Amino acid sequence: MQKRTVAIIAGGNSSEREVSFKSANGIKSFINSDKYDTFIVSIVGKKWEVKLSQEQSVVIDKNDFSFTLDNKKRVFDFAFITIHGTPGENGILQGYFELLEIPYSTCNVLTSSLTFNKFFCNNYLRGFGVKVPDSILVKDKNQIKAKDIVEKVGLPCFIKPNAGGSSFGTTKVKTEEMILSAIDLAHKEGDEVIIEKLVKGKEFTCGIYKTKEKTVIFPITEIVTKNEFFDYGAKYNNESEEITPARISYELTNRIKRLTEAIYDILDCKGIVRADYIISEKEEITLLEVNTTPGMTSTSFIPQQVKASGLEIEEVMSDIIEDHF
């Protein structure tokens, strides 16, 4: 059987670029090299190139997403998108690959666009009975007063980019005086800012993927951090403890898994998706956000959950690819 050629697409135009490249290296190490030829494709602005080594790269032909190597044109059979942020998480690349009829690893254009917008996604899911934090969408800080924000969501609250991840630009705001500067910080990451009511409880996250043949819901991870919240340092600088499977009851585990699958289906998700939650002392489950291109470094949640499930990460990667053929 001839090997399929897989593009692992990383980079992007947001502060999550370096995290994306780490995820790409992780995915490359996870994919079975006996079955697939893999190439990391860097997309940064208008610069699209295949990274052959640290020093060597070749340009991607955007007309058909091909490249030339040793005087031979190479085309990709599959695109594994691991850009966290624009243009890989918000539907832009998905639309490009739809036009070229190249199968890809993530949700479709509509779902990617919706889930990338935290405010719209959470309020859409609220209509299906999913509990989400109360929130305010801010486009221009001059159109809203700090005291009005306090009245609507209270203090402390979270102020963060409406479209972004890895906690870049996120602030836990404790006083009214902090609000405007926190909005300014979030605005550095995007045009829209979401202000969310603080939900007290412990953080948990659950990964899932579906193929034509099966549904796989991974063991749940419990997140314990000494920081104010699960910020960039907690995520990437070992400033948190991540426990998989989570230390929760069988009943609560099943509730979280059922909710994760319901959200996956409501949004018509594809590929590997991760849902993040806050669980209160009364075991009320509040959805924080849906991640359609979750981190895939060796220490990220999904690889941890795959290991805890007893599955092989190579098998999971093959499932995602082969489901399209």
pLDDT at residue 235 greater than cutoff 80: no
Cα–Cα distance for residue pair 193/232, rounded to 1 Å? 18
State phi, psi for 216 to the nearest 5 degrees. Answer: -120, 115
What is the overall mean pLDDT for the chain? Answer: 93
Domain with CATH 3.30.470.20 in the chain: 113-130+200-323
Cα–Cα distance for residue pair 295/301, rounded to 1 Å? 7
Cα–Cα distance for residue pair 3/103, rounded to 1 Å? 16
Residues 34-55: tens digit of each pLDDT: 999 999 999 999 999 999 998 8
Domain with CATH 3.30.1490.20 in the chain: 135-197
Specify the pairing of strand 193-197 against strand 202-210: unpaired
Domain with CATH 3.40.50.20 in the chain: 4-105
pLDDT at residue 234 greater than cutoff 60: no
Q: State which amino acid sits at residue 189.
A: E
| Reduced DSSP (H G I as helix, E B as strand, rest coil) percent helix, strand, coil of the chain, to 5 | 30, 30, 40
Under the banding of pLDDT at 50, 70 and 90, the label for residue 237 is low
Angle (nearest 5°) at CA 200 between 197 and 206: 95
Cα–Cα distance for residue pair 65/63, rounded to 1 Å? 6
Say if residues 317 and 30 touch (Cβ distance below 8 Å): yes
pLDDT at residue 106 greater than cutoff 90: yes
The sign one gets for the Cα dihedral 130, 206, 167, 312 is: negative
Say if residues 98 and 109 touch (Cβ distance below 8 Å): yes
State phi, psi for 244 to the nearest 5 degrees. Answer: -130, 125
Cα–Cα distance for residue pair 243/145, rounded to 1 Å? 40
Under the banding of pLDDT at 50, 70 and 90, the label for residue 225 is confident
Cα 249 to Cα 55, 246, 287: the distances in Å are 51, 9, 19
Chain-centre distance for alpha carbon 323: 20
Fold observed for domain 135-197: Dna Ligase; domain 1 (3.30.1490)
Residues 6+ apart with CB under 8 A from 54: none
Cα–Cα distance for residue pair 111/125, rounded to 1 Å? 12
Please tell me the pTM assigned to this model: 0.92
Residues 59-79: tens digit of each pLDDT: 999 999 999 999 999 999 999
Radius of gyration of the chain (CA): 20
DSSP 8-state secondary structure symbol assigned to residue 176: G
Residues 131-181: tens digit of each pLDDT: 999 999 999 877 888 899 999 999 999 999 998 655 678 899 999 999 989
Q: Which residue has the higher pLDDT, 28 or 19?
A: 28
Fold observed for domain 113-130+200-323: D-amino Acid Aminotransferase; Chain A, domain 1 (3.30.470)
Residues 261-282: tens digit of each pLDDT: 999 999 999 999 999 999 999 9
**Per mean pLDDT, which range of 6-20, 159-173, 243-257 is the poorest?**
159-173
Residue range 80-98: mean pLDDT, rounded:
96
Angle (nearest 5°) at CA 306 between 316 and 80: 40
Q: Max CA-CA distance within the chain?
A: 65
Chain-centre distance for alpha carbon 165: 7
Residue range 305-314: mean pLDDT, rounded:
98
**Per mean pLDDT, which range of 3-12, 233-242, 306-315 is the poorest?**
233-242
Cα–Cα distance for residue pair 75/109, rounded to 1 Å? 22
Cα 40 to Cα 13, 44, 104, 278: the distances in Å are 16, 13, 14, 35
Fold observed for domain 4-105: Rossmann fold (3.40.50)
- Return left, alpha or beta for 268; rule: phi > 0 is left, psi -120 to 50 is alpha, else beta: left
State phi, psi for 76 to the nearest 5 degrees. Answer: -100, 140
Helices (H), the chain: 17-30, 92-100, 109-116, 118-126, 146-153, 179-187, 232-236, 250-266, 301-309, 313-322
The sign one gets for the Cα dihedral 229, 233, 235, 240 is: negative
